[in-house]
Amino acid sequence: MSAKRDMVVIGLGPAGVAAALQAWRDGLDVLAIGDEPVGGLLPAAHRLDNLPGHPTGISGRALARRLAAQVRAAGVAVERDLATAVERAGEAGFRVVTGGGRVHLARTVCIAPGTSPVPLPRGLVPDGVHVLRDVRGLERVPGSNVLVMGGGDAAIDSALSVADACMRPVVVARHATRAAARLLAEAAARGIHVRIGDADRRRDATTAIACIGREPRLELLHDLLPGGAPRDVATEVPGLFVAGDAIRGRDRFVATAMGDGQRAAVLARAYIEGSGST
């Protein structure tokens, strides 16, 4: 077991990175644990054009690389592992257990776990089609068809990533698309159109990407917050914070997640200073 940290951050997407960097800047002894590379879901995003400060937009991959470089430059301690439990450890802290068998003590914890994709219902894609959770796992086979299941922003954005990889996206939605007009126009300009219903589903695709929705990953919170999912960064448990997509309902954006992360770190510092936590 290691010495007690001021803060352990779980999840290294935009929310977790913002929490870790703010904690570092405020002089806290912070450890960030992530089961994926720094950036979290970002590399699944084709281009972010709603993030202030990037006048021509930025690809999710490029932003993830920048976040990783910033975390490295700051010297924030990072551990690549899955946090499997967060428990109260007496009055003044928490115990974080990882799948790799590590146990960390912390005065405060920020959980920023993001979301996981809603699985495709059985029968929605033809038998034998390999279903991916998002575009990150896409094997580049130029010229091949890829089914993109869903009609929202993520589906259209993923279809653009597929097209960038010189493959042919076939977007299939159950209902009329809810995607932003600008995204639809960009897709249409590249010959990508949304097909409604199953009738037009192409049979010659070997890969499908599930974009029918995502749900919060709240499993670490079940025992700590029996009252249910938190709705704000500060929770009913002193010293425990939650940030990012996991608490944002449908408002899942990078800037929102980063703001949550920063707020978690600021509240953590205030908690440590005010509680006399040892």
Ligand X SMILES: Cc1cc2nc3c(=O)[nH]c(=O)nc-3n(C[C@H](O)[C@H](O)[C@H](O)COP(=O)(O)OP(=O)(O)OC[C@H]3O[C@@H](n4cnc5c(N)ncnc54)[C@H](O)[C@@H]3O)c2cc1C
Nearer to ligand X, 126 or 139 (CB): 139
H/E stretch holding 8 reads strand 5-10
H/E stretch holding 262 reads helix 254-275
* Cβ–Cβ under 8 Å, residues 30 and 6: yes
Binds ligand X by CB under 6 A, chosen from 96, 106, 146, 154: 154
Nearer to ligand X, 88 or 102 (CB): 102
Q: How far is the CB of 180 from ligand X (least distance, A)?
A: 9
Buried b (16+ CB within 10 A) or exposed e, 138-152: beeeeebbbbbbbbb
Binds ligand X by CB under 6 A, chosen from 6, 7, 9, 13: 13
Q: Contact between 16 and ligand X (CB under 6 A)?
A: yes
Q: Strand 103-111 vs strand 30-34: parallel, antiparallel, or unpaired?
A: unpaired
Per CB under 6 A, contacts with ligand X among 120-139 are: 134
Q: Contact between 171 and ligand X (CB under 6 A)?
A: no
Per CB under 6 A, contacts with ligand X among 72-131 are: 82-83, 112-115
Nearer to ligand X, 4 or 252 (CB): 252
Structure letter (DSSP) for residue 13: S
| Nearest residue to 48 (alpha-carbon basis) of 32, 25, 66 | 66
Binding residues for ligand X, rule CB under 6 A, total 37
Q: How far is the CB of 119 from ligand X (least distance, A)?
A: 15
Per CB under 6 A, contacts with ligand X among 195-224 are: 217, 220
Residue 175: count other Cβ atoms within 10 Å of its Cβ: 8
The count of residues in the chain is 278
Tokens for 159, please give them: 């279809």
To 10 degrees, the CA torsion angle through 236, 239, 243, 247? -10
* Cβ–Cβ under 8 Å, residues 14 and 253: no
Binds ligand X by CB under 6 A, chosen from 158, 177, 235, 262: 158
Tokens for 127, please give them: 């038998």
Q: How far is the CB of 200 from ligand X (least distance, A)?
A: 22
Q: How far is the CB of 55 from ligand X (least distance, A)?
A: 15
Tokens for 227, please give them: 């009252």
Nearer to ligand X, 133 or 168 (CB): 133
Q: How far is the CB of 203 from ligand X (least distance, A)?
A: 25
In single-letter form, the type of residue at position 150 comes to: G
Q: Contact between 35 and ligand X (CB under 6 A)?
A: yes
Q: Contact between 11 and ligand X (CB under 6 A)?
A: yes
Q: Contact between 22 and ligand X (CB under 6 A)?
A: no
Region from 137-145, 201-209, 249-257, 268-276 binding ligand X, contact rule CB under 6 A: 249-257
Binds ligand X by CB under 6 A, chosen from 8, 20, 23, 42: 42
CA dist., res. 182 & res. 225, Å (int): 40
* Cβ–Cβ under 8 Å, residues 242 and 213: no
Contacting positions for ligand X (CB under 6 A) = 10-16, 33-36, 40-42, 44-45, 48, 50-51, 82-83, 112-115, 134, 154, 157-158, 217, 220, 244-245, 252-254, 257
